[in-house]
């Protein structure tokens, strides 16, 4: 049976050798649709799997696959250079105002240079608390403005997205690292304490450590963007998670696991995404991580929904049941007794229905 475009793209990205696709166009289109085209080029080059055909542009404009790959990579490098220049300008202006932002997600990749292939539409800068308002004013002073027609609106954790004519995307100034639901699982003060300094030319910023970044990005997709409710993976997010996990040292993997053990839903999400990364991208599973049978089964269902988007699915019940499984709860520091597991199940329910609980006056779960 002919592999699906998703299976073929995943094989090209995977951490194992794979035969070249019979048809490249569907693979390139799917990679572009999921903003993984630059990652595809980098992985093919890294594995020595670029097709052995000349890079030619025909008179009618049609390009051979190698010419298409070259074009994708050149466009990526040019966009990355533009984003880096604007980020440097923005961070330097914040430094002049006495501010040192924490660069999240794509901004972290620009500052550290890894992974080189990461694509991004926007830049997220975290300045906890009142510093976010000051940073927002700095951005306005540089000519950035809200766009009323943008589909990206302000959330409780960041200001209105800001645009500028010469900037290929938008910026978001965050007062908190994640959405309301995700904040209860991975609080901003905890993440802000797990940073290291970085420079962009004369500008100074901070970035999350590898373990903190990996878990924050996972929760951004799984909870912040409601992967838990939709029951599917964000394909770009899953591949970035795969690469992030591969980049961690043994000590950093231990730190990541200790972070995940702070909340039963963090551990459940890590189990699920580890299984998804192993299944789709052949991620080698290294200690202290292991593949868990129920996570493998759930990841298979999530990947099936990822391949057929638009399917209506209410994943809240599955998320609760998965996180509440007794064999997973006993891995928690307080999960060795029936009473401890009962308390953990209450913590899971509280995190799932946190917006309604807060509406009636309960304090956020920190």
325: pLDDT strictly greater than 90: yes
Confidence of residue 65 (pLDDT cuts 50, 70, 90): very high
CA angle (199 as vertex; 79, 171 as ends), nearest 5: 45
The C-alpha atoms of residue 2 and residue 8 are separated, in whole angstroms, by 9
The C-alpha atoms of residue 238 and residue 303 are separated, in whole angstroms, by 10
DSSP at 175: S
The C-alpha atoms of residue 247 and residue 322 are separated, in whole angstroms, by 28
148: pLDDT strictly greater than 60: yes
Q: Are 224 and 157 in contact (CB under 8 A)?
A: no
Distance set, CA 75 to CA 36, 78, 178 (Å): 13, 5, 30
The pLDDT tens digits for 243-286 are 999 999 999 999 999 999 999 999 999 999 999 999 999 999 99
CA angle (177 as vertex; 174, 181 as ends), nearest 5: 115
Residues in the chain: 366
The C-alpha atoms of residue 200 and residue 108 are separated, in whole angstroms, by 11
Give the domain ranges of the chain. Answer: 209-366
The C-alpha atoms of residue 220 and residue 351 are separated, in whole angstroms, by 15
What's the confidence (pLDDT) of residue 22?
82
Tokens of 14: 């995977």
The pLDDT tens digits for 183-241 are 999 999 999 999 999 999 999 999 999 999 999 999 999 999 989 999 999 999 999 99
The C-alpha atoms of residue 272 and residue 257 are separated, in whole angstroms, by 13
Q: Which of 189, 209, 190, 196 is nearest to 254 (CA)?
A: 209
Nearest-10 Cα torsion for 291, 297, 298, 301:
140
The C-alpha atoms of residue 57 and residue 48 are separated, in whole angstroms, by 22
Average pLDDT over the chain, rounded to an integer: 92
The DSSP result for 195-245, as a single string, is EEEEEETTEEEEEE-HHHHHHHHHHIIIIIT-HHHHT---HHHHHHHHHHH
The pLDDT tens digits for 80-130 are 999 999 999 999 999 999 999 999 999 999 999 999 999 999 999 999 999
């Amino acid at each position: 049976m002919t592999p699906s475009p998703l299976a073929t793209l995943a094989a090209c990205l995977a951490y194992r050798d794979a035969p070249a696709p019979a048809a490249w166009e569907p693979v390139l289109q799917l990679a572009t649709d999921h903003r993984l085209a630059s990652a595809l080029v980098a992985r093919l080059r890294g594995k020595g799997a670029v097709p052995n055909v000349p890079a030619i542009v025909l008179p009618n404009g049609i390009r051979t696959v190698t010419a298409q790959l070259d074009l994708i990579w050149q466009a990526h490098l040019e966009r990355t250079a533009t984003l880096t220049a604007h980020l440097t300008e923005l961070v330097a202006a914040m430094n002049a105002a006495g501010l040192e932002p924490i660069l999240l997600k794509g901004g972290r990749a620009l500052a550290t240079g890894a992974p080189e292939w990461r694509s991004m539409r926007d830049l997220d800068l975290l300045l906890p608390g009142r510093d976010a308002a000051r940073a927002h004013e700095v951005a306005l002073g540089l000519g950035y403005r809200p766009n009323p027609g943008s589909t990206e609106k302000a959330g409780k954790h960041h200001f209105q997205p800001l645009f500028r004519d010469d900037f290929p995307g938008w910026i978001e100034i965050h007062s908190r690292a994640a959405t309301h639901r995700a904040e209860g699982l991975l609080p901003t003060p905890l993440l802000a304490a797990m940073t290291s300094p970085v420079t962009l030319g004369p500008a100074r910023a901070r970035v999350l450590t590898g373990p903190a970044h990996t878990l924050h990005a996972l929760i951004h997709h799984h909870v912040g963007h409601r992967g838990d409710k939709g029951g599917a993976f964000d394909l770009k997010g899953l591949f970035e998670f795969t690469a992030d996990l591969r980049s961690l040292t043994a000590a950093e993997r231990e730190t990541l696991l200790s972070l995940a053990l702070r909340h039963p839903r963090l551990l459940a999400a890590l189990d699920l995404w580890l299984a998804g990364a192993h299944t789709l991208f052949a991620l080698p599973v290294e200690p202290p991580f292991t593949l868990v049978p129920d996570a493998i089964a759930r990841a298979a269902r999530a990947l099936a929904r990822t391949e057929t988007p638009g399917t209506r699915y209410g994943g809240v019940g599955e998320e609760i049941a998965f996180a509440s499984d007794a064999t997973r709860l006993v891995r928690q520091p307080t999960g060795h007794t029936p009473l401890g597991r009962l308390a953990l199940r209450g913590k899971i329910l509280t995190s799932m229905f946190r917006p309604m609980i807060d509406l009636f006056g309960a304090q956020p779960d920190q």
